[in-house]
Structure 1
Amino acid sequence: MSEPQIAKPLKTWSHLAGKRRKPSEYEIVSTNLHFTTDNPDAPFELDPNFPMAQWFKKNRNASPLKHGDWNAFRDPDEIIYRTYNMLQDGHENYVFGLFDQFSARGHDAMLEDGWARHLARLYTPGRYLMHTLQMGSAYLSQMAPASTISNCATYQAADSLRWLTHTAYRTAELKKTFGDLGFGTGERGIWENDPAWQGFRELVEKGLCAYDWAEGFVALNLVARPAFEEAGLRALGQAGRHNGDTLLGLLTDAQLADAERHRRWTGALVKMALETEGNREALQNWLAKWAPLGDAAIDAFCAHLPDSPGAAQTAREACAALRRGYGL
């Protein structure tokens, strides 16, 4: 009589065994971390009908965007918490070096009053928009069907917070030189009422109500973020350079460097989604809903940029080209 066979225990990181090599640091700390995907019928291993479980089943599991293995997604930059902090520590040193150097040479005192008024209207109220971008990224991080997607969204949220803090720092600096222009006190009213911001306000506030994880991804990463990056960063930074505000141009350039990394992982996720039949139609349907709002936001904002002829058209074309580059 033969001896019963004893099953061999699975080795550590057995879900990566198919690679036939030692897993990388990125793979070890980033893949297959979502316990809420283990049992689709009971995402939290509790009552499958309690409200949070129903929310995830509706807005993640039942999303029109489908894939056989979302955990196969990989960040093209393979960013992890350790390397993100190393990378952005260097970026923050650069940004605060800009603050120190321009402050030491009396930069704000050399700005014309007319341009400072544009900053009070078109730059410092952007804190509100940056916060909504952070919130949208945080929601995507919570709802994404794979931890490798959630990680990208988490670092994206952190970058939005960094952008916000840079803008808040500049708000406080500008207030010291232009104390009568409402820096630090007038931005909420401008965000809620000024025509330059109402397109973006509609876009991002509606975007925060796109509860399906994939629709939220489309509204945020394929429409709202590119629209802001092309109009509220690139075009605004160029207007700053035209008006002697080199600091603003350099700050927006630094933020756009983060945006390029966000665009790389966004493109990788779209490419992966397009591998599954039916996903192209779902993505294009959502784009048909959200892209007009993005274009309207660009038009409204750029209409008030000084010394920026053709800025709106350039920004809209850049957003459309980005989406075409993703295959949409």
Structure 2
Amino acid sequence: MKEVLEKSAAAGAKQFAGSTSRKFNYYQPKGRRATLYEDVTVDVQPDPKRYLLQDWIISFADGTPAYCETRTDIKSSDWHVFRDPNGEWERTHYIRQSGIEKQVSLTIENARKENAFENLDKTWIKVLQDHFGASKHPEYGLGMLFQSAQRDGMSQMINNAILVNSSDKLRYAQDIALYMMEIAQDIDQLNEAAGKENWLNHPLWQGTREVVEHLPASTDWAEQVFAANLVYEPLVGELFRSGFLMQFAASHGDYVTPTLVSTAEADFERNLAYSVEMFATFLNDPQYGDHNKRTVQNWLKKWVPMCVQAANQLQPIWSQPRVKVTTFVDSNTRAKERFSSILEQLNLKLPEEVKL
């Protein structure tokens, strides 16, 4: 082989650009230097517009290619521009998730040693049973939603970020389920099945359920991510987690629930960051930016009223704990301000006919 290369070089044969480099250099890094995240993520997914000379290798029976731009109303002049600001890939993701589970497990273990669950306020026990238990169902639903959405994204960077989002949601839903089982071992009056029953039938949760069950009905993966992360999460998901659970738990002798919920809030901050970055890329696309803005405006008309209604239906939960730490109005106001700040980051405004 060495002799062949020497003969080719002597004959003036052309060499592939960067063939002697010890680093990947077939893409344009976002920063001055390529990151390990970019090295293991960029162009992992094939694309006929980038190096795949023989067109798509796999297509569906009707001729639709494996990855098709028609699976979203969003258009892009280059699907490969987006980079996840979190820079997360398989190894870093597994390490982070493992650390979270260790933290949660240690907190629950210490709480059981101190009989913390037996000393919880009785009104708070019922809240955990009825409403925290119910909240695992929308979290699981979103996890499955993102798992489906990531399949249709047009680049590995997009799909990787959405898949990490899915893993975060499924982990948190599982943590809630396991946590309720732990509490039930120490508190006889706690009914694990109440959460599912409330999710399916309690009027407080039917608005939330409507949103979560409508999301998979959309066949547009970008709409699913936009509606879930940029509309539902700040107006409903974070409202319940930060505006209620994190505010009320400590006053009722509960220091374990905030530890668990804080992991979901950290997840949301990270997943919000990639979502804002991704849609900023779409909305500022040099060729399709105006089209994408019109598309997003239509999504806001569709999803904001549903999420506002879902949030308002949760209001009675704020009156159920014995100690009244804050009001629904205050928590909801903060949630709306958070949502408005997200729109400002994307330089978006609500359509005139949509009210918060």
What is the TM-score with the length of structure 2 in the denominator? 0.81
Matched, 1:212 2:220: yes
2:353 is matched with none
1:182 shift after superposition = 1.9
Alignment of 1:144-223 (within 5 A): 144-183=153-192, 185-223=193-231
CA–CA separation in structure 1 for the residues paired with 2:227 and 2:211: 8
SS of 1:259's partner is helix
CA–CA separation in structure 2 for the residues paired with 1:149 and 1:72: 10
Which structure is larger by alpha-carbon Rg, 1 or 2?
A: 2
Structure 1: runs of 5 or more not aligned: none
Amino acid at match of 2:342: L
Amino acid at match of 2:42: T
Contact 1:136/1:220, CA 8 A, preserved across alignment: no
Query: What is the aligned counterpart of 2:339 among 294, 309, 319?
Result: 319
2:57 is matched with 45
1:52 shift after superposition = 8.2
Amino acid at match of 1:166: D
CA–CA separation in structure 2 for the residues paired with 1:158 and 1:122: 22
2:237 is matched with 229
Amino acid at match of 2:102: N
Matched, 1:259 2:272: no
The alpha-carbon distance between structure 1 residues 43 and 125, as it changes in their structure 2 partners (threshold 3 A), is farther
Contact 2:67/2:153, CA 8 A, preserved across alignment: no
1:19 shift after superposition = 8.0
Matched, 1:31 2:42: yes
CA–CA separation in structure 2 for the residues paired with 1:313 and 1:52: 49
User: Bigger shift: 89-98 or 132-141?
Assistant: 89-98
Structure 2: runs of 5 or more not aligned: 1-9, 349-356
CA–CA separation in structure 1 for the residues paired with 2:107 and 2:233: 25
Instruction: Indicate the structure with greater helix content.
Output: 1
The alpha-carbon distance between structure 1 residues 217 and 240, as it changes in their structure 2 partners (threshold 3 A), is same
Matched, 1:284 2:292: no
1:272 shift after superposition = 0.8
Contact 2:120/2:254, CA 8 A, preserved across alignment: yes
Matched, 1:302 2:315: yes
Percentage of identical aligned residues: 23
1:238 is matched with 247
CA–CA separation in structure 2 for the residues paired with 1:172 and 1:144: 37
1:88 shift after superposition = 2.7
Over the residues paired in the alignment, what is the CA RMSD in angstroms? 2.8
CA–CA separation in structure 2 for the residues paired with 1:256 and 1:283: 25
Amino acid at match of 2:200: E
The alpha-carbon distance between structure 1 residues 100 and 190, as it changes in their structure 2 partners (threshold 3 A), is same
